[in-house]
Structure 1
Amino acid sequence: MQAETLKQQISAAKGEVDAELVLKRAKVVNVFTNEIEEADVAIHHGKIIGVGEYSGQNEVDLDGKYVCPGLIDGHIHIESSMLCGPAFEQAVLPHGTTAVITDPHEISNVAGTTGLNFMLETTRNLKLSVYFMLPSCVPSTNLDESGAVLEAKELAAYYRSERVLGLAELMNSYGTVNGDAKILQKICDCIAAGKNVDGHAPFLSGKDLNAYITAGVQSDHECSDVNEALEKLRRGQYIMVREGTAAQNMNALLPLFKEPYCDRCMLVTDDKHPGDLLRGGHIDYIIRKAIAAGVEPAVAIKMGTLIPAKYFGLKQNGAVAPGYAADLIVVSDLKNFTVESVYKNGVLAAEDGKMLEPTALSINEIAFARVLNSFNMDEITLGDLELHETGENERVICLTPHELLTSEKIIPFQNHPGTAPGVDVENQIVKLAVFERHHHSGHVGLGFLGNYGLKCGAVASSIAHDSHNLIVAGTNDADMVLAGNTVRKNKGGLAFVLNGRVVGELALPVAGLMSMESAEEVEKKLQALKAALKEAGISEEIDAFMTLAFVSLPVIPKLRLNTYGVVDVEQQKIVPAIF
Structure 2
Amino acid sequence: MDKELFRHQIEVAAKRKKAALVIKHAKVMDVFNQEWIDADVAVENGKIVGIGEYEGEQELDATGQMLVPGFIDGHVHIESSMVTPAEFSKAVVPHGVTTVVTDPHEIANVSGVAGIRFMLEEARKAALNIYFMLPSCVPAVSFERSGATLKAKDLKPLYDEKEVLGLAEVMDYVAVEQAEEDMLQKLLDAQHEHKLIDGHLAGLTDRLINVYRTANVQTDHEVTTAQEALERVKRGMYVMLREGSVAKNVKNVLPAVNEKNARRFFFCTDDKHLDDLMAQGSIDEQVRMSIQEGLDPFLAYQMGSLNAAECFGLKTKGAIAPGFDADFMLISDLHEVKITSVFIAGELVSEHGEYLPSVDKITPNSSLMQSVHAVDVQEKDLTLPITDHQKMNVIRIIPNQLETKLEQISPSGSDGQFTSDIDRDVLKIVLVERHKGLSEIGIGVVSGFGLKEGAIATTVAHDSHNLIAVGTNDADMIKAIETLKEAGGGLTVVKDGEVLHTLPLPISGLLSDQPAHTVNESLHALHEALNETGFALDFNPFLTLSFLALPVIPDVKMTTQGLFDVRSFQHLPIQS
| TM-score, structure 1 normalization | 0.97
Q: What amino acid is the match of 1:363?
A: T
Deviations 1:319-366 (A, max 9, x none): 0000001111111110221221111111111111112222123315xx
Which amino acid in structure 2 is aligned with residue 252 of structure 1? N
After TM superposition, the structure 1 = structure 2 runs for residues 153-302 of structure 1, keeping only pairs within 5 Å, are: 153-302=153-302
Matched residues in 2 for 1:374 and 1:442: separation? 16
Corresponding residue number in structure 1 for 2:493: 496
- Which residue identity lines up with residue 98 of structure 2 in the other structure? T
In structure 2, the residue matched to 1:443 is 440
Distance 1:66 1:379 in 2: 58
Shift of 1:577: 1.5
| 2:395 counterpart letter in structure 1 | I
> Which of 393, 396, 399 is 1:398 aligned to?
396
CA contact (8 A) 1:71 1:305 kept: yes
2:552 aligns with one of 531, 555, 566: 555
Q: Could you tell which deviates more after superposition, 439-448 or 44-53?
A: 44-53
3-state SS of 2:464 partner: coil
Question: Are the aligned partners of 2:373 and 2:435 in contact in 1 as well (CA < 8 Å)?
Answer: yes
Give the letter aligned to residue 534 of structure 1. Answer: N
Answer yes or no: is 1:380 the counterpart of 2:342. Answer: no
Contact 2:398 2:405 (C-alpha < 8 Å) held by counterparts: yes
What are the Cα deviations for residues 387-419 of structure 1, in whole angstroms up to 9, with x where unaligned?
A: 2565622111011011100001111221169x9
The residue number in structure 1 matching 2:524 is 527
Matched residues in 1 for 2:139 and 2:435: separation? 13
Instruction: Report the CA distance between 1:36 and its aligned residue.
Output: 1.6
Q: Is the 8 A contact 1:394 1:422 kept in 2?
A: no
Q: Partner of 1:357 in structure 2?
A: 357
* 1:518 match: 515
8 Å contact kept, 1:415–1:423? yes
Please tell me whether the aligned partners of residues 256 and 265 of structure 1 are also in contact (alpha carbons under 8 angstroms): no
Q: How does 1:367-516 map to 2 (within 5 A)?
A: 368-388=365-385, 392-415=390-413, 421-516=418-513
Aligned amino acid, residue 406 of structure 1 = T
> In structure 1, how many angstroms separate the alpha carbons of the residues matched to 2:340 and 2:502?
35
Q: Which amino acid aligns with 2:469?
A: V
Residue type of the partner of 1:53?
A: E
Task: Check whether the contact 1:396–1:450 (CA below 8 A) recurs between aligned residues.
Answer: yes
Contact 2:557–2:565 (8 Å) recurs in 1: yes
Equivalent position amino acid for 1:137 in 2:
C
Distance in 2 (CA, whole Å) between partners of 1:290 and 1:21 is: 32
1:134·1:155 contact (CA, 8 Å) conserved in 2?
yes
- Partner of 1:427, secondary structure, is coil
CA contact (8 A) 1:75 1:270 kept: yes
3-state SS of 1:48 partner: strand
Total equivalences in the alignment: 575
Q: Unpaired runs of 5+ in structure 2?
A: none
Report the Cα distance in structure 2 between the residues aligned to 1:132 and 1:388, rounded to whole angstroms.
45
Q: Is the 8 A contact 1:122 1:361 kept in 2?
A: no
Name the SS for the 2:363 alignment partner.
Answer: coil
> Equivalent pairs: percent with the same residue?
42
Do the aligned partners of 1:86 and 1:358 also contact (CA within 8 Å) in 2? no
Following TM superposition, by how much is the alpha carbon of 1:431 offset from its aligned partner in structure 2, in angstroms?
0.3
Contact 2:19 2:43 in 1 (8 A): yes
Residues 457, 196 of structure 1: alpha-carbon distance in 2 compared, 3 angstrom cutoff: same
Q: Deviations over 1:502-528 (max 9, x none)?
A: 111111111111111222221222122
Aligned residue identity for 1:265: F
CA deviations on 1:242-265 (whole Å, 9 max, x unpaired) are: 011100000001123431221011
Offset at 1:489? Answer: 0.7
Q: How does 1:19-38 map to 2 (within 5 A)?
A: 19-38=19-38
Aligned-residue offset at 1:80: 0.2
Equivalent pair of 2:386/2:411 in contact (CA under 8 Å): no
Whether the 8 Å CA contact 1:452–1:542 is kept in 2: the answer is no
One-letter amino acid of the structure 2 residue matched with residue 381 of structure 1: Q
Give me the CA root mean square deviation: 1.5
- Please report the TM-score for the alignment, with normalisation by the length of structure 2: 0.97
Contact 1:420 1:476 in 2 (8 A): no
Paired with 2:52 and 2:557, the residues of 1 have a C-alpha distance of 56
The secondary structure found in structure 1 opposite 2:341 is strand
User: Aligned residue for 1:107?
Assistant: 107
User: SS state of the match for residue 309, structure 1?
Assistant: helix
The letter of the residue matching 1:352 is H
Q: What's the CA shift for 1:124?
A: 1.4
| Matched-pair contact (CA < 8 Å) for 1:74–1:100 | yes
Separation (CA, whole Å) in 2 of partners of 1:309 and 1:354 = 26
List alignment gaps of at least 5 residues for structure 1: none
In structure 2, do the counterparts of structure 1 residues 420 and 119 end up closer, same or farther at CA, with 3 Å as the change threshold?
farther
Give the direction of change, closer, same or farther, for the CA distance of 1:63–1:444 in structure 2 (3 Å limit).
Answer: same
The one-letter amino acid of 2:109's match is: N
- Whole-angstrom CA distance in 1 between matches of 2:211 and 2:151: 22
Aligned partners of 1:114 and 1:55: how far apart in 2?
A: 48
Please tell me whether residue 327 in structure 1 is matched to residue 327 in structure 2: yes
**In structure 2, distance between residues paired with 1:379 and 1:273:** 29
Equivalent-residue separation in structure 1 for 2:3 and 2:312 (angstroms): 27
Letter in 2 for 1:170: V
Q: Which moved more, 1:503-512 or 1:513-522?
A: 513-522
Which residue number corresponds to residue 538 of structure 1?
535
